[in-house]
Amino acid sequence: MAVEQKEKKVSKLPAAARISVSKRIGQILAFVGVFILMIALTLFIMLKVICAYGASKNTFVTTVLESGQLKFLASLVLSENEIQEIVDGTKLGDVGDANINEGMISLPQQSLSGETPEGVDMSSIEIIEIAGLTYKATLMIIQDPSRVSVTSVATGLDEWPEEGVPLKNLVERAGAIGGVNGGLYESTNNSGGKAYGILVSNGEIIRNRPQEWSGLVLVGLTNNNILQIIDVSKMSAAESEQMIKEKGIRDAVCFQEATSSDNNHFVQLVINGVPREVKGAGSGLNPRTAVGQRADGAIMLLVTDGRGSSGHVGASAADLIEIMTRYGAVNAANIDGGSSTCMYYNGEYLQNSVTFYYSQSSWKLPCGFVVK
């Protein structure tokens, strides 16, 4: 008994020591609480200052509404009506039911000897660096559109995997030389497990849910290597499947055309050689991924940086339209943006994720456009 009592006394802290430890923990928790409160208060004041000026307020609102996790910031300092008014005043013009005029694309034809016209190198892939006021962009021009396709982590599987993979992995799995991200997808906690809407890869319909999100627009290539930009938002699954078969869609993803106080996405940039009408900048400033096609059939894959990367805030819809028209796009579409924007080519990332902990790689993706 004497031994047990001795061990019991040794295991106890003096009452004064216990009070001291409890007091120290309380002080630490109080400091952390005050620190978090100060950060929150500072952020709120900053948002109020930003939203005190018209131009900065418009840019701030349209930018955060395009993000996946920061949309709530706009509603902290502005009402739903105020946000909607800003969105209405800066969005792109209506494109209606514009159909792609395939006659405007003239692909170089091989002769009977198997040769293409003089001066046309169908193996050409050109990389162009573009510097804008608020962004840096990289443009990949692929002369032969048949080399561009869509690949996904679900190709050949019965169901979507739980997680996606970095762009490098998608490119290497497809035996390709390069690629970009593209399409609306599940990005919560950087899972990247599945694409939304419609996804077609090498003629196989991997996913067909045109009503999964509002305002979905299909962007892809036909068996004739013509870029298509088709509003599928009012189609049923049966109707979209029929459309894919009739038009011969071989590879495609979906992105969202939706402008409201909760969202701010856009797709169509240039249709049949006509740039889309822009109100203001047409959007906020963010990293972007876009695809276009020239009159000679060449495909253009474009990415821009933003969100503080290299001191840049990002590109607007007007910026994308300007770049695409400058380089001859007959048709062009925005297909993604934000932290998932990336470009991989010839064994290296030409554009990395803007998220600091993936600065040497990309977010996990379910799919992307690749160049074989």
**pLDDT tens track for 233-246:** 999 999 999 999 99
Q: Per mean pLDDT, which range of 22-31, 198-207, 267-276 is the poorest?
A: 22-31
Residue 187 has pLDDT above 80, yes or no: yes
The confidence score (pLDDT) of residue 82 equals 80
Q: What is the pLDDT of residue 45?
A: 60
Quick one: average pLDDT of 344-360? 82
Does residue 52 register a pLDDT over 90?
no
| pLDDT (tens digit per residue) in 278-302 | 988 888 899 999 999 999 999 999 9
The residue among 155 and 132 whose pLDDT is bigger is 132
Can you tell me which residue has the tokens 């300092």? 77
Query: Residue 170 has which token pair?
Result: 């998608």
The DSSP result for 151-183, as a single string, is: EETTTTSSS--SS-B-HHHHHHHTT-SEEEE-S
pLDDT greater at residue 33 or residue 141: 141
Cα separation of the two ends of the chain: 81
Which among 199, 195, 177, 178 is positioned nearest to 186, based on CA atoms?
195
Percentage of residues of the chain with pLDDT beyond 70 = 80
Q: Which amino acid is at 37?
A: L
What integer pLDDT is reported at residue 243 of this predicted model?
98
pLDDT at 118: 65
The rounded distance, in Å, linking the Cα atoms of 129 and 150 is 24
Residue 340: which residues within 8 A CB-CB, separation 6 or more? 181, 185, 187, 192, 289, 353, 362, 363, 365
Q: What is the mean pLDDT of the chain?
A: 85
**What pLDDT score was predicted for residue 70?**
73
Is 73 or 269 the better-scoring residue by pLDDT? 269
The partner residues of 231 in beta bridges, in order of sequence, read 217
Burial class (CB in 10 A: 0-12, 13-18, 19+), 33: exposed
**Model confidence band, residue 2 (pLDDT cutoffs 50, 70, 90):** very low
DSSP conformation class of 339: G
User: How many percent of the chain have pLDDT more than 90?
Assistant: 54
Taking the mean position of all CA atoms in its chain, how far away is CA 211?
20
Q: Does residue 365 carry a pLDDT above 80?
A: yes
pLDDT in tens, 105-116: 998 875 444 566
What's the pLDDT at 276?
A: 95
Condensed to tens digits (0 to 9), the pLDDT of residues 10-27 reads 555 566 665 676 666 766
Q: How confident is the model at residue 89 (pLDDT cuts 50, 70, 90)?
A: confident
Give the C-alpha separation, 61 to 78, whole Å: 9
Comparing 52 with 249, the larger pLDDT belongs to 249
Label residue 41 by pLDDT band (50, 70, 90).
Answer: low
Q: Render pLDDT for 298-339 as a digit per residue (tens, 0 to 9).
A: 999 999 998 877 788 899 999 999 999 999 999 999 999 988
Considering just the CA atoms, what is the radius of gyration of the chain in Å? Answer: 25
